[in-house]
Amino acid sequence: MTKSYVGALQRVAGRLGFAICALVLMAVAPSPGWAQGARAVETMSVGDEPGRISTEEVAITEGPFARQLVLFRSNEAPGTLVVHTSERFLYVVMGNNRALRYGIGVGREGFQWSGLVRISRKAEWPDWTPPPEMISRQPYLPRFMAGGPGNPMGARAMYLGGTIYRIHGTNQPETIGHAVSSGCFRLANGDVIDLYTRVPVGTKVVIRHAASV
Amino acid sequence: MPVAPRLTRRITSNAPCAALCAGVGLLLAGCASTTSSPTPTAVSARPSNIPVTKLVGRWGVASYREEKDRQRTEAQARSHCRQPYVIAKGPTDGVMMHVADDPKPYELTLKGGSDGKTYLGFEAPPGDPQDREIVSFNDNLMVMRWVSPDVNTRYGTFVYVRCK
């Protein structure tokens, strides 16, 4: 991804202004040259529903986006996370050509990226800071919402290196399988909790924008 | 902002309808399915111990659900004075604020309940589902929670820190 493209993404994101992750993670400085992904301001879709409840028990149980063991040929070491944004899948490499696969929601067009990062931090029921534009639309919202079941960040978060992106839960499980965010990867709360228990800080994460054979 | 101090206003999360109702001064009593039927105000409210003018000003606002988060939520509220919630004096004896899930401001008033608690809301009986309960109050910090358990679960307890 070229710098000009990254800059364009930043400008687009800036104009859109739905900068949730950026606002939440203002203290997180990007690490240039590590991840190849766009340094676009992380956003959530306009359709975020702060205050909507999704409990820890909510998981995808049917269809291709249900958590399941699958055949997965990869040279990555067991324990590595591989994200295929085009497929809307996240894999935990298990070895022996197998992986545990989760359905995810990914960045909408223009907000998808690829790169190599590591889990730098983990948090249970992460806090959420609505972006100013959302406050303008929904002025009754608090300017900061401590973690909880009504929080759009969901039950768990795993921070991706020094980027503004993360793998997190959601209070909108119906968005799994769709391109809805602006770069973060979201799982249903029950699934992100399961993943959270399997992934220590330091875990390698490979994000592929196009499906690989 | 039209005010109907002698009427009870019951709105729902149907914001456009609620806004319309507010905008025409409640003349549209049959605002479709939102049950905004004016009824005489019950007289069970007692004067509040808190002067409503004490609420006027610029506040940093944050919310929490668990007591363990309260202290840091206060700190977050304070830090969000850069994006304050502004409470203005209303046209009559209330203050202009929002209720949950509705972007329109309304004139709300403080009400003393027979349970000894203080509520903020429309001129409905104290403890109405659209009210907030004032959990604690001083000149620089107030804590409110929604009377509606559903709303309280969704948005948590609100901390307001007065901006200097």
What pTM was estimated for this model as a whole?
A: 0.65
Mean of pLDDT over chain B: 79
How close B102 gets to chain A, by Cα (Å)? 7
Asked if the ipTM is above 0.85, the reply is no
Question: Residue A126 above 70 pLDDT?
Answer: yes
Tell me the mean pLDDT in the region A20-30. Answer: 34
Give the model's pLDDT for residue A48.
67
Please report where in the chains the tokens 């228990």 appear, as a residue: A197
Contact (Cβ atoms closer than 8 angstroms) between residue A189 and residue A67: no
Say whether B101 and A141 touch across the interface (CB within 8 A): no
- Could you report the per-residue pLDDT of A144-191, keeping only the tens digit for each? 999 887 788 899 999 999 887 889 999 888 889 988 876 889 999 999
Give the model's pLDDT for residue B149.
92
Give the model's pLDDT for residue B91.
96
- Any idea what DSSP says for residue A68? E
- Any idea what DSSP says for residue A145? B
Give the model's pLDDT for residue B44.
63
Give the model's pLDDT for residue A181.
75
Find which of A76-85, A130-139, B12-21 is predicted with most confidence, using mean pLDDT: A76-85
How close B19 gets to chain A, by Cα (Å)? 14
Give the model's pLDDT for residue A182.
64
- Quick one: A46 exposed, middle or buried, by C-beta within 10 A (0-12, 13-18, 19+)? exposed
AA letter at A178? H
Contacts of A142 in chain B (CB under 8 A): 61-63, 77, 155-156, 158
Here the tokens at position B111 are 């009400």
Residues in chain A: 213
Put simply, the chain B residues between 62 and 81 with a CB less than 8 A from any chain A CB are 62-66, 69, 72-73, 76-77, 79-80
Alpha helices in A114-201 (DSSP H): 132-137, 189-198
Question: Residue A91 above 90 pLDDT?
Answer: yes
